[in-house]
Amino acid sequence: MTKTSYQKPSPQTQEESLKIAKGIQRPAQTKEQTKLIAQGIQQGIDLYKKQQKEKARELSKKRKKLSSQKGLSIEQDDQEIQEIIIYHQHWLPWLLLILTWLGLGIYFIGYVDLR
């Protein structure tokens, strides 16, 4: 015997799905079609919430497992993981800056020579 317990969607989920369904409603769409779309959206929201709960449960299990381990192993893990951040700057802004200064220099030299 399989255990199937279906929870009714919350009123907030129903409102939200109906609002979304009405927002994407086509001009010739009937109310029944809109209700079906809203039900599909409700199922999607419920599935998303279910997946998030499962992820949260797995994360809490991992946290409990890590906290139950000795403090030395956690410290060793922290020492092994080091973030190396390397900043790479693009050459284009520097090239534009140099060209601008060269252009201004040439302009002012040419302007002074003409006077």
Q: How far apart are CA 33 and CA 18, in angstroms?
A: 12
> Mean pLDDT score of the chain, rounded to an integer?
81
pTM of the model: 0.48
Q: How far apart are CA 3 and CA 98, in angstroms?
A: 71
Q: Is the pLDDT of residue 25 over 60?
A: yes
Position 81 scores a pLDDT of 67
Per-residue pLDDT tens digits for 45-101: 889 999 999 999 999 888 888 877 755 454 555 556 667 777 788 889 999 999 999
Given CA atoms 35, 37, 41, 43 in this order, what sign does their dihedral have? Answer: positive
**How confident is the model over 94-111, as a mean pLDDT?**
92
Q: How far apart are CA 9 and CA 77, in angstroms?
A: 42
**How confident is the model over 27-49, as a mean pLDDT?**
89
Q: Specify the higher pLDDT residue, 44 or 6.
A: 44
| Under 8 Å between Cβ of 1 and 25 | no
